[in-house]
Structure 1
Amino acid sequence: MANLDLLMHPVRLRIIQALLDRRPSTTTQLRARLPDIPPATMYRHIAALTTAGVLEILDERRIRGAVERTYRLRWDRTELDPTERAAMTADDHRRAFTAFTGGLLADFDRYLTRGPADPTTDGITYRQAALWLTDTELAELLTELRSAITARTRNDPGQDRTRRMISVVVIPTEN
């Protein structure tokens, strides 16, 4: 498992997000997908994620004297273990949530500025719903969502498929 400081860095979060679709990528491919990240910064953060075991090296090959590595995300290393989550302070949770929502804002801004955005056609949605749930019902709902999302993470890129990010936030509120 990774630690909070490793996962919550904005550049490392973007690298992880770029690999969420389960497609292995070289650093060159990651740089093409994340062109606003300077090369030295990209290499430094890929090294940190690899050292921590969040990224796995699938292949190495020599290209003009340099070694090109192909990386894959290790899903089992992208979440904090239950003990570390339980030990998080309120400030740790605030920092993690800020990084998460900051990433969402940055993703949405990149979407809006990359070209003619058409949120309706592109299926953009952001909604909230208030549900009255027992702890058991919440656990069932989260299992259903996880199952529905996981079933689709194995979809390969295709002619009619668009890569979409799905984010889920659950927060209890006052009655």
Structure 2
Amino acid sequence: MADLDLLLHPVRLRIVQALLDGHPSTTTQLRERLPEIAPATMYRHVAVLADAGVLEVLQEKRVRGIMERTYRLRWDRAQLDESGRAAMTPDDHRRAFTAFTGSLLAEFGQYLARDPADPVADGVTYQQAALWLTDEEHAELLAELRAAVTARTGRSPGEGRTRRMVSLVAMPVEE
């Protein structure tokens, strides 16, 4: 199980998010996905995540005299469990949400910087809905959403497939 401070670092959070699709990557491939991160910074934070067990080494091979490692995200180590979340203070939650929204903004900025970025054609959506739900109905909704997303994870890149990031925030709002 990951430590909150380990995951909330902005660079480490971006690395974890880059591996959310379940496809193993080398550090070179991660650098291609995250070109704004300096090489030395990337290597340092990948090593921190690997040492913490958040990333596991699937393969090692020599490439031009340097050991190249292929990493995979360990889901069981890349998130806080229920007791870890319960132990978070309001300030911890504020930091976590700030990191989450900051990384979301960075991903969206990268998308908009592509040429051409066409949000309508690409099916980009951001919206909110206010729902009146009991605790049980809310738990049911979250379970349905998790099941819908989980059923689609692990698909391989292919003809007509675009890697899409899906994010969810649910919170009670006082009237």
- Normalising to structure 2: TM-score of the pair? 0.97
Within 2, Cα distance between the matches of 1:172 and 1:5? 26
Determine helix, strand or coil for the equivalent of 2:59.
strand
Percent identity (aligned): 71
* Structure 2 residue aligned with 1:12: 12
Question: Deviation of residue 47 (structure 1)?
Answer: 0.5
Question: Deviation of residue 88 (structure 1)?
Answer: 0.8
Question: Deviation of residue 35 (structure 1)?
Answer: 1.2
Deviates more, 1:109-118 or 1:68-77: 109-118
Determine helix, strand or coil for the equivalent of 2:151.
helix
* Structure 1 residue aligned with 2:127: 127
Write out aligned runs for 1:3-42 (5 A): 3-42=3-42
Q: CA RMSD in A?
A: 0.8
Within 2, Cα distance between the matches of 1:66 and 1:124? 40
* Structure 2 residue aligned with 1:155: 155
Question: Deviation of residue 21 (structure 1)?
Answer: 0.9
Within 2, Cα distance between the matches of 1:167 and 1:8? 16
Give structure 1 regions of 4+ aligned residues with deviation exceeding 2 angstroms: none
Aligned partner of 2:111: which letter?
Y
Question: Deviation of residue 64 (structure 1)?
Answer: 2.0
Question: Deviation of residue 68 (structure 1)?
Answer: 0.5
Aligned partner of 1:101: which letter?
T
Write out aligned runs for 1:57-76 (5 A): 57-76=57-76
Provide Cα deviations, 1:8-37, integer angstroms capped at 9, x if missing partner.
Answer: 111111111111111111111111111111
- Normalising to structure 1: TM-score of the pair? 0.97
Question: Deviation of residue 159 (structure 1)?
Answer: 1.1
Aligned partner of 1:132: which letter?
W
* Structure 2 residue aligned with 1:86: 86
Within 2, Cα distance between the matches of 1:54 and 1:157? 23
Within 2, Cα distance between the matches of 1:104 and 1:118? 18
* Structure 2 residue aligned with 1:96: 96
Unaligned runs of 5+ in 1: none
How many pairs does the alignment contain?
Answer: 175
Question: Deviation of residue 113 (structure 1)?
Answer: 1.3
Within 2, Cα distance between the matches of 1:38 and 1:13? 15
Q: Is residue 23–residue 154 contact of structure 2 (8 Å, CA) maintained in 1?
A: no
Within 2, Cα distance between the matches of 1:140 and 1:37? 39
Within 2, Cα distance between the matches of 1:99 and 1:139? 24
Unaligned runs of 5+ in 2: none
Determine helix, strand or coil for the equivalent of 2:67.
strand
Within 2, Cα distance between the matches of 1:85 and 1:20? 20
Within 2, Cα distance between the matches of 1:103 and 1:163? 16
Provide Cα deviations, 1:29-54, integer angstroms capped at 9, x if missing partner.
Answer: 11111111111000000001001111
Within 1, Cα distance between the matches of 2:103 and 2:35? 16
* Structure 2 residue aligned with 1:141: 141
